[in-house]
């Protein structure tokens, strides 16, 4: 168990994040996942709990270290920015709060005051209006941690599947131009190292998808497999990684195929996220690999359409908190051994 708290950023206060955090605290309080602390938004959390009929004990703390004193009987919330609770109706104030919470929570993880960072969902376009200059939180965290955006690797992880998209938040038409052997090699190697360090998989089995239908059918439907993906696979194998591919994307996620690998490396966002969400939506976690901090998030977004109705499933947020706790503990253990 982590003795340090996990820092939870509030996400967009008009989304499902606040009510899910409340539900997660109810489930996790005093369990071996260790203390959690929400960074800002006490009023939002209180109102979200009221709205879904939960009598929420809340402990406002000045220092995250104090969360451990309270979390078994009250949800610890760091006293800072706040906003009005307007479920389903995002506001500029709410976006500013989401950004302030993300920035402060990231700072706590980086300084070592928090064991890990768990981010509740944000709406990227609203954040941009609040001054956010990154395609997503993944790239923001890379920037804050002083690493190249390409080296912060998104992985979606559920009980049945793990996937890594090589390109992420870009238009589909730009994907072929953005794929390079170097990028596939580098991001796959980062994922392999993180699976060892944070997930305890000693020799990760990696399956790499093609880009084109039938992985190009020997060049009939495109050249990226031969020119970009296969050379990357060769170098990864030379480095000692257990890699197969390029596999036709449509065959890679069948039940039998999934038994043959620990992670599927995919060429674009939806190739990686569609199978994960189809299989594991209510338990899916978005984890950022390659950072000096541990960061997880639920696989879903703000779900403005159901916010405040009390019907949002807390499973993915719970899985994100548990995974952050496990990864942080494993990383600390590995570091103390080396």
Ligand X SMILES: NC(=O)C1=CN([C@@H]2O[C@H](COP(=O)(O)OP(=O)(O)OC[C@H]3O[C@@H](n4cnc5c(N)ncnc54)[C@H](O)[C@@H]3O)[C@@H](O)[C@H]2O)C=CC1
The two structure tokens encoding residue 291: 């950072």
Cα–Cα separations (whole angstroms), residue 275 to 69, 159, 165, 283, 312? 41, 12, 12, 13, 21
Which of 122, 156, 168, 294 binds ligand X (CB under 6 A)? It is 122
Least distance between ligand X and beta carbon 68 (Å): 26
Percent of the chain that is helix, strand, coil (3-state, to 5): 45, 15, 40
Least distance between ligand X and beta carbon 58 (Å): 22
Stretch that binds ligand LD2JLWAY, among 5-13, 20-28, 134-142, 190-198 (CB under 6 A): 134-142
Which of 103, 221, 306, 332 binds ligand X (CB under 6 A)? It is 306
Listed in sequence order, the residues at least 6 apart from 270 whose beta carbon sits closer than 8 Å to its beta carbon are 172
Answer yes or no whether residue 313 interacts with ligand X by CB under 6 A: yes
- 138's contact among ligand LD2JLWAY, ligand X, none, with CB below 5 to 8 A by partner kind, is ligand LD2JLWAY
Nearer to ligand LD2JLWAY, 135 or 222 (CB): 135
Which of 216, 230, 271, 286 binds ligand LD2JLWAY (CB under 6 A)? It is 286
- 302's contact among ligand LD2JLWAY, ligand X, none, with CB below 5 to 8 A by partner kind, is ligand X
In angstroms, rounded to a whole number, what is the distance separating the alpha carbons of residues 307 and 10?
14
In angstroms, rounded to a whole number, what is the distance separating the alpha carbons of residues 143 and 137?
10
Nearer to ligand LD2JLWAY, 2 or 138 (CB): 138
Dmax over CA atoms of the chain, in Å, equals 64
How many other CB atoms are found less than 10 A from the CB of residue 217? 13
Nearer to ligand LD2JLWAY, 188 or 288 (CB): 288
């Amino acid at each position: 168990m982590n003795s340090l708290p996990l820092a939870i950023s509030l996400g967009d206060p008009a989304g499902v994040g606040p009510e899910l955090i409340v539900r997660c605290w109810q489930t996790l309080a005093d369990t071996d996942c260790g203390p959690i602390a929400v960074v800002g938004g006490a009023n939002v959390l209180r109102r979200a709990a009221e709205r879904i009929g939960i009598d929420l004990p809340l402990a406002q703390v000045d220092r995250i270290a104090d969360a451990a004193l309270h979390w078994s009987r009250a949800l610890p919330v760091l006293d800072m920015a706040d906003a009005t609770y307007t479920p389903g109706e995002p506001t500029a104030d709410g976006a500013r709060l989401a950004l302030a919470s993300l920035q402060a929570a990231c700072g706590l993880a980086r300084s070592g005051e928090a064991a890990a960072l768990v981010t509740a969902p944000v709406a990227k376009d609203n954040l941009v209006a609040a001054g956010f200059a990154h395609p997503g939180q993944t790239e923001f965290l890379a920037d804050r941690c002083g690493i190249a955006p390409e080296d912060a690797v998104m992985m979606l992880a559920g009980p049945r599947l793990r996937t890594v998209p090589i390109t992420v938040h870009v238009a589909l038409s730009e994907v072929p131009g953005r794929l390079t052997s170097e990028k596939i090699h580098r991001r796959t190697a980062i994922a392999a190292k993180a699976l060892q360090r944070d997930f305890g998989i000693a020799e990760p089995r990696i399956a790499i998808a093609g880009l084109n239908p039938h992985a190009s059918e020997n060049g009939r439907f495109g050249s990226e497999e031969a020119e970009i993906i296969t050379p990357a696979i060769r170098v990864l194998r030379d480095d000692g990684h257990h890699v197969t591919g390029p596999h036709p994307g449509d065959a890679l996620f069948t039940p039998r195929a999934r038994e043959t690998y620990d992670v599927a490396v995919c060429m674009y966002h939806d190739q990686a996220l569609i199978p994960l969400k189809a299989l594991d939506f209510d338990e899916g976690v978005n984890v950022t690999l390659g950072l000096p901090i541990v960061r997880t998030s639920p696989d879903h977004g703000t779900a403005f359409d159901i916010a405040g109705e009390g019907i949002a499933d807390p499973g993915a947020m719970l899985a994100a908190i548990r995974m952050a706790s496990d990864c942080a503990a494993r990383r600390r253990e590995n570091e103390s051994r080396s």
